[in-house]
Amino acid sequence: MVGITEQTYPIACKGGLDLTTNTQELLQKPGWATRLVNFEPSTDGGYRRINGYIPLGSGRTPGTELTRIKGITWVDNKALVVCHEDAVYFSYDLVNFIQINVAMDLAGANSGGMDFTEVTAATKLPRTSSYHYDFQLFRQGTGITLMGTSEGTSPFWFQITGTTLADSTYYYKELSLTSGTLTGATHSEKFKDQFVIAGMDDAPAEIYYSDILNPDDFEGANAGAIGFNDVVMGLKMFRESLYVFCRNSIHKVDGLSSGSPQRIPVTTKIGCIDGNSIQELAGDLVFLAPDGLRTLAATSRIGDVNIASLSATVASKLRIINRNIESYDVRSETIKNKAQYRLFFKGKVGETVGAYSIIMYMSTNTQGSIAPEFSELTGFEIASIDNGFYKGKERTITGDRSGNIWFHDEGNDFNGSLIYFLYETPFFAINDPGFRKNIHKVTTYLKIEGDASFNLALKYDYDSRAAYQPAPYPVGPLIAPALYGTSVYTNNNISYGTEKSPVVDTLTEGSGKTVALRIYPSGQQCDPFSLQGFDISYVQSGRI
């Protein structure tokens, strides 16, 4: 007899954010999300509430200017470079910095470099027109060699040998041509033993490449330039070839070090609209095209590549941004240990467009093939970002528009402020959308990394006013479990006998033909947790 037996409808949290699929199709995708804010597709399955950010030291190092961090990068697993206002700073310990953009006569008195005292006292070379920096690391001898480019000013080269600021020898110079200028080089790439730059003010459709083993020399025997019939937007080395991303086309350059480079068109049908979006993820290149995110991947044919679209499920949002891309600062980075791509949009100074950020993670779908999952981020202001290794540990570091430096994806809050999060399923029908269901219980499957609590809300029949919409149900607090080998017996913030993967039953009320679940903060401090899935216990009624 219909309506008597209680049944269970299982939901696995998988698929990510979907802003594009129509309402009818979403009825069959209950584990996906129509809102997924400050969750990330977890490498352990489900959706994980993200980490936040914590300050580097005092949070404003180096300098005291309340202006943007224009560039930041890890250097060779042991140092950090920060470009702030008109200065380039260097640090080994992330606490003490030295400004290294100083005047040096490397062909004369300073041909052997300068020591710490000399650099500190030297005349500074202000980089007042710089905006956003791109960096490339070279390994030459025992020292650190770094090349930097920024629109509005000349590329620079510096080399440092030593282990502390006090015992190091410093070399610094800004790059130019005997006849001509390299001013405004916006994009750069290291190609084997050469330095490649693009985006110069007076040559927007050209790339310049340096001499072999002399990345600061653009007029040597093996240096030169290559022209394109399209504005160059970005550069990336991939599978032993240099790829040049233009506004309306993509090209591959082979034989750069031979003195006779070949320019090979990859496609003239699509290009890249912002070079700051180009990153390597899971062995492929990801970039922002006019129609959304695409990947440039090697195919089975030797020397061939495939260009595929990735962002169909969030295309509606990206299209709005892409139409106004000139108004945005775009930043991107990959977090290697999570195989994640993070893309940040922020309106340029003076622009009224808002901010938007997304996470992309390549996941295995139910058919066994690899597909992207997306979520949204909020609460981050990213002026500069870099992911790398510092003393053997992967860390992502960011700078904002107020001169603050942060460790990204660390800590449980936003420097003391609670992290807002939201997960909302599509409205789903629980089998037949014509029958009403009385939902008695929601069982939530979780993985917790500390203390967790949130609200669970049920919304019936597309949040109709004609349907009873119950008040949200509190879940938690769930107490962090004591783990053998890591927990301290006297710690009052852990609990013995609790579970790392709790299963929580919530008794519910209300009924409808369709229902959606919503997870959002309870207003209490919350450590990261993962939503694995739900069981919906219900009794089916009639067609009323």
pLDDT in tens, 388-418: 999 999 999 999 999 999 999 999 999 999 9
Average pLDDT score over residue span 42-65:
87
Please say whether the beta carbons of 333 and 327 come within 8 A: no
Distance, in Å, from the CA atom of 297 to the CA atom of 239, rounded to the nearest integer, reads 10
Is a pLDDT exceeding 50 seen at residue 3?
no
Is a pLDDT exceeding 80 seen at residue 140?
no
pLDDT at residue 181, as a whole number: 79
Average pLDDT score over residue span 296-314:
75
**Residue scoring higher pLDDT (141 or 100):** 100
Half-sphere exposure of 338 (CA within 13 A, CB side): 23
Using alpha carbons only, what angle is made at residue 172 by residues 169 and 178, rounded to the nearest 5 degrees?
A: 145
Distance, in Å, from the CA atom of 403 to the CA atom of 81, rounded to the nearest integer, reads 14
Closest CA to 137 of 386, 330, 331: 386
Distance, in Å, from the CA atom of 205 to the CA atom of 492, rounded to the nearest integer, reads 63
Phi-psi region of 401 (alpha: psi -120 to 50; beta: other; left: phi over 0): alpha
Q: What is the mean pLDDT of the chain?
A: 90
Closest CA to 479 of 535, 413, 529, 418: 529
DSSP annotation of 106 reads: T
Which residues have a Cβ under 8 Å from the Cβ of 319 and sit 6 or more positions away? 291, 292
pLDDT at residue 479, as a whole number: 87
pLDDT at residue 386, as a whole number: 97
Closest CA to 365 of 31, 38, 20: 31
Distance, in Å, from the CA atom of 271 to the CA atom of 287, rounded to the nearest integer, reads 9
Distance, in Å, from the CA atom of 133 to the CA atom of 188, rounded to the nearest integer, reads 9
pTM: 0.91
Average pLDDT score over residue span 241-266:
91
DSSP code string of 171-232: EEEE---SSS--TT--EEEEETTEEEEEEETTEEEEEEE-BTTBTT-SSSTT-EEEE-SS-E
pLDDT level of residue 486 (50, 70, 90 thresholds): low
pLDDT level of residue 1 (50, 70, 90 thresholds): very low
